[in-house]
Amino acid sequence: MQDHLNDYVKQAMQQLRQMLPESLNLLTNDAPDDRFNPERKVARQMSNEEEFPEAPQLTDSEEVEQIARAAWHYYNDGLTQNQIADMLSISRIKVSRLLEKGRQTGLIELRINSPYEGCLGLQQDLIAAFGLADARVVPAAEGLPLVPRIGRAAASLLMRTLIPNDLLAIGWGEATSTTLRFMAPVFPRANISLVSLTGGVSAYIGNTGLYGPQSFAHLIPTPLRVSSPELAEMLRVEPYVRHVLEMAITARTALIGVGSVARSATLVRYGYCTSAEIELFTRRGAVGDLLGHFYDRDGEILDLDLHRHVVSVTPDDMRRIPSVVAAAAGPEKVEAILGMLRGKLANTLVTDEETARELLRRQK
């Protein structure tokens, strides 16, 4: 028993050393104003939003050992928190906090081995209705923040499909960044690399715990949108940017968010589009955006000047990735998700129960 516990602690210690944070600044200042260089604004807003608190960091080796021991006794030995507190000579409240921090940082991973994980019936209905490869539906839970729950479900799905030495392509947005926070400890342990599908990713990925001495994240060091088509084209053919774009479409799996055309859309809140532009795009038939490219209700990419300002993999090129996982939910996202599914822009969906029901109702 003690040998198993010591092995568990040693693994946790190795994981800690791989997770030590290191600052990395890949932001550029090619555009003259913040409107087309909003990385600092993005990073600041994402770190301040209540829905996305900064992920706890494990930087104390003694705390990692305590978490590992508490988790082993609680989940493997079936001891109560009071019993564990007595064994470790700490308070019961301290034990509770250790277990919670272990879950938040990914040191502790919980798996529900049941055929009824999520909402099985709705998952199968979505797969049949839209020709999906897979789907995950999170049960409704009134009062709980939606995006973190979607992020956990997407992280659970990806951790089952990714293999050691794999490459995961990542898009831009809140659902993506939240999912990555839950997966942060997995990447170095399984030697999984990340590659960005768009510019602008470096603005938020530093808050996910993914930067460290292992340097396994290959990011496009540009904003998502730049000030002119000429600048965008110059950046796309720069060797480093071009190599990252080419690498992205060699991935087996991609994780993307789904942008809405609401005035509160992520692209508006983080300065990549104005509300006036969003209204114009909507009048031209836009229902959502993918990698900064707006599409209509059937998933067809619109002919917009904006797209020539974007530094990203194109939606057509992204179709070369075998598994594209879209994580999105909420009433403001229904039209965008529906258009994305109709256009076959993703083949796996992670959403919530209410959104799934509305998607199926509208598809009938």
95-112 tens-digit pLDDT: 999 998 888 877 787 766
**What confidence category does residue 213 fall into, taking pLDDT thresholds of 50, 70 and 90?**
very low
Average confidence (pLDDT) over 295-305: 97
pLDDT at 132: 98
- Helices 146-161, 174-183: axis angle to 10 degrees equals 60
Which CATH number is 120-363 given? 3.40.50.1360
Q: Pairing mode, if any, of strands 348-352 and 253-256? A: unpaired
Q: What was the pLDDT predicted at 104? A: 80
Mean pLDDT lowest for which of 7-16, 132-141, 208-217? 7-16
2 or 310, which is more confident? 310
Amino acid 107: pLDDT: 78
pLDDT exceeds 70 at position 39: no
Q: What pLDDT is stored for residue 240 in this prediction?
A: 94
Residue 286: the pLDDT is 97
**Position 23 pLDDT exceeds 70:** no
pLDDT at 14 over 80: no
pTM of the entire predicted model: 0.72
What mean pLDDT, rounded, does the chain reach? 82
pLDDT of residue 3: 52
Terminal CA-to-CA distance of the chain, rounded, Å?
56
pLDDT higher for 24 or 96? 96
Q: Confidence band (pLDDT; 50, 70, 90) for 16?
A: very low
pLDDT exceeds 60 at position 152: yes
Which band of pLDDT confidence, cut at 50, 70 and 90, is reported for residue 322?
Answer: very high
Domain residue extents for the chain? 120-363
| Higher-confidence position of 28 and 245 | 245
Other residues' Cβ atoms within 10 Å of the Cβ of residue 222: 31
pLDDT at 203 (0 to 100):
66
Over residues 239-279, the pLDDT tens digits come to 999 999 999 999 999 999 999 999 888 889 888 999 999 99
- Tokens 């396994």 identify what position? 216
Position 56 scores a pLDDT of 55
The per-residue pLDDT for 161 is: 92
Return the number of other C-beta atoms located less than 10 Å from residue 41's C-beta: 16
Q: What is the percent of the chain with per-residue pLDDT over 90, rounded to a whole number?
A: 54
Amino acid 274: pLDDT? 93
Residue 360: pLDDT over 90: yes
Name the nearest CA neighbour of 170 among 242, 218, 106. Answer: 218
d(CA 179, CA 26): 21
**How do residues 185-196 score in pLDDT, each as one tens digit?**
888 888 999 999
Measured distance CA(253)–CA(271) in Å, rounded = 28
Tell me, what's the pLDDT at 57? 56
Range in 153-157, 286-290, 324-328 with the lowest mean pLDDT: 153-157
Rounded to the nearest 5 degrees, what angle is found at the Cα of 157, between the Cα atoms of 151 and 161? 140
